[in-house]
Structure 1
Amino acid sequence: MAARELALDGQALRSAGIGFAPVQRERKASDLSFPGTVAIPPAQLRVVAAPVEGLIEAVEVAPDELVTAGQTIIRMRSPALVEAQRAYLAAEADAALARDRLRRSEQLFAARALPERDLRVAENDARTATYHVNERRHVLTLMGMTEQEVETLQRTRAFRPTIDIPAPKAGIVLSRHTSPGARVAPAEPLFTIAQLDPLWVNLQVPSSRLASIELGSPVSLPGQGATGHILRIGRSVDPATQSVTAVAQIDTRNGSVRPGLAVIVRVRVEQTGGAQWVVPAGSVVRHRDQSWVFVRKPDGVRAVPVEVLSENSRDASIKADLEADDLVANRGLIPLLAELAKTDSD
């Protein structure tokens, strides 16, 4: 957006009580502060679900407890598991019988005492029986039995009525969704386990500040002493807040940063391209979704569009087409805003 000349002479400026202050060139990086909420990266969450219908016999861990991969966290008893083992042993017996029939058919065919068609039928029956065994074996592993336990079942023919459910990975138990004595259905959630390092912070960045941050920008949490970087910047704007969600990845600083914590995040903005200036905070105004400053000129005042990089109660860091000896209005800006509004129809 182009700068606009305002028709105000020196007498009019003095009468309106408009004051001016010098600008300062900013030669270092600046920090932007945004509110955020700590969250767990989705890839670090694991939901442990019931592999089969049954009764919870024992719960071995509690919320907020550290678990290791493979550690038993819950034990359950399941009639459906017993039935699946019976079906597997029955499929094994059928497969053994089909293999015996195939051997006899091969012998008879070699002696020219069996038609080739009957041999092919025996071969197909043996293959089908093997597929059925593999299917029933896979069902047992889906129900939580290990390969070693399946081998033991095949060797001893002793049914196992209970199943120990292990932690799929090391982490912290975030929540428990069941208790001893409860009956659960297949795929019903039992535990939620998470790794808590690193963590994410979801930042709410106003759309007017979006151009100031970029992927990889350093971030810090002053209250917790943690550091990280911008991982992702959203592409949609929330209509209610006119903000964009950006995600920063941070370290946990030995547990000082926890999921759900509301934090203030500082994003370091390096000076790149174009001149950056520091002006009094009261010098920057908003008009028609654009930030402006009013620059004193020999023949009046010029309204200059600016990009605000950061601001606090005292001053603001801006990017604008200014000169080192420029003066910007810092008080009595209402008449200048009125003159700026008049230029909208020009």
Structure 2
Amino acid sequence: MTRFTTYRALPALVALLLGACGYVSEGDNQTEAASQITRNEASHADEGAVTLSPDQIAAAGVQIGRPLAGGAGAIDLPATIEGDPQETQVVSAAIGGRVVALTRNLGQSVVRGQTIAIIESREAAQMKGEVQASRARLALANSNLAREQRLFSQKVSPEQDLIAARTAAIEARIAYSQARGQVSAAGGGGGGLNRLGITASLSGQVIARPVVLGQTVAADAELYRIANLRKVSVSLNLRPEDAGRVKPGNVVSITAPGRQATAHISFVSPALDPQTRQVPVIATLGNGAGQWRVGESVTASVQLSGSGGSSAIRVPTTAVQTVERKSVVFVRTPKGFRATPVKLGDAAGETVIVRSGLTGREQIATTGSFTLKAELGKGDAEHED
């Protein structure tokens, strides 16, 4: 081999040795750097995301709601769940007698117009007997009227007799209508001459039944109490100085062990309660799922209206978690949730002000956010591995 040949082979030998030692060319460095940037961007895009299906969200007990907007403060008060006065009915006995049938028990559903009790009494027999007698008198009066009309047309009977027959038929019809109206007002039906059926004029659930079979009751005695519990009322009392900052439409956060919901003020009394010297307030609360029960004690966080018209975004304290020393709220996404950093303000009862990070239009995890934080931690651990 000549010296020239040796020089020509040196570059190839050097490249081979550098490759064996792990040396990468500048072009390869640029390609690797671009790949790393792409991986970092993908990792950053998934940062804070928790992927869950709707079934997994439900199984984890995560409840979804929207932030509360408006208000300049809140006060926490004890409150009581009550039936909506517009959707509650007392079913009473229109006549006195003995209760011989009660077709519904506590908690059972009732349909409007359904017979739910039967009362047996002499008064019922008299009322139903009058219906039958007035019906017979009406039939006779109509027959006489038809006969007088026929005789008058034949010029056999004078017009005066026709007018009298027509008047008698009208009076008989009025008497029959009155007798039927009395029975209808008392209940009607019942299956016997001396029995009256009591019907429900409201669809709902039986929440009280203070009588038993065989009991003798007086007229107007309560037999049932029926309530439509798709909506319930929240009853609370405010001090006069606070009542001036509350108006219909204000938000009330209702909490009880394991449950939370949002109600709205529907009534603020213009007068003080003479015993408590406070202002009675009623809020309306949706109860489609039946999770709130009449008579239950709850805590109501009432949003107060500010004098300067300021507003704020509030979220339940159960919606806030701390991730990497930052306060976050889990915002609903098409694939699950995303941990969104927020800046918090003052707490007010069971809610806290969000000064930045939310617009108020998002759907957020109001309860169960700790489970989402745990899922986020699992995802970070897997990513590090």
Q: TM-score when scaled to structure 2?
A: 0.55
Q: Equivalent residue for 1:171?
A: 204
Paired letter, 1:227: T
Shift of 1:271: 5.0
Paired residue type of 1:188? A
- 1:113 aligned onto 2:148: no
Whole-angstrom distance in 2 between the partners of 1:64 and 1:107:
61
Amino acid at match of 2:264: H
Shift of 1:192: 0.9
Q: Deviations over 1:9-36 (max 9, x none)?
A: xxxxxxxxxxxxxxxxxx9853222232
Is 1:53 the counterpart of 2:96 in the alignment? yes
Match of 1:199 among 217, 221, 232: 232
Q: Is the 8 A contact 1:226 1:252 kept in 2?
A: no
Shift of 1:259: 2.1
- Structure 1 residues 45, 110: closer, same or farther in 2, change over 3 A? same
| Pairing 1:47-126 to 2, within 5 Å after superposition | 47-126=90-169
Cα-to-partner distance string for 1:234-288 (whole Å, 9 max, x where unaligned)? 2223466553222211123744432222322112346561789xxxxxxxxxxxx
Q: Say whether residues 1:140 and 2:183 are aligned partners.
A: yes
1:229 corresponds to 2:253: no
Distance 2:290 2:192 in 1: 45
Q: 2-side partners of 1:134 and 1:275: how far apart? A: 63
Q: Compare the two structures and name the one with the higher helix fraction.
A: 2
Q: Partner letter of residue 226 of structure 1? A: A
Letter of the aligned partner of 2:195 in structure 1? T
Residue 70 of structure 1 and its aligned partner are, at CA, apart by 4.0
Q: Deviations along 1:206-225, whole A, 9 cap, x unmatched?
A: 12223332321111113230
Retained in 1: the 8 A contact 2:76–2:301?
A: yes
Instruction: Report the secondary structure of 1:52's partner residue.
Output: coil
2:173 alignment partner AA: T
Root mean square deviation of aligned Cα: 3.2
What letter matches 1:169 in structure 2? L
Contact 1:51 1:142 in 2 (8 A): yes
Secondary structure class of the residue paired with 1:222:
strand
Cα distance in 2 for partners of 1:45, 1:28 equals 32
**Structure 2: runs of 5 or more not aligned:** 1-69, 312-346, 350-385
How far apart, in 1, do the equivalents of 2:123 and 2:156 lie?
Answer: 45
Larger relative contact order, structure 1 or 2 (CA cutoff 8 Å, min sep 6): 1
Are 2:299 and 1:264 aligned? yes
Q: Distance in 2 between matches of 1:233 and 1:88?
A: 48
CA distance in 1, matches of 2:79, 2:187: 40
Q: Which amino acid aligns with 1:34?
A: L
1:247 maps to 2:290: no
Asked if the contact 1:226/1:253 (under 8 Å) is kept, the reply is no
* Partners of 2:201 and 2:108 in 1: CA distance: 15
User: d(CA) in 1 for partners of 2:211 and 2:155?
Assistant: 65
Aligned partners of 2:73 and 2:348 also within 8 Å = no
Measured in 2, the distance between the counterparts of 1:51 and 1:240 equals: 34
State the structure with more CA Rg.
2
Q: Are 1:182 and 2:225 counterparts?
A: no
- Indicate conservation of the 8 Å contact 1:63/1:173, yes or no: yes
Would the alpha carbon gap of residues 141 and 215 (structure 1) be closer, same or farther in structure 2, given more than 3 Å must change?
closer
Q: CA 1:111/1:75 → structure 2, altered by over 3 Å: closer, same or farther?
A: closer
Identity %: 27
Q: Secondary structure at the match of 1:212?
A: coil
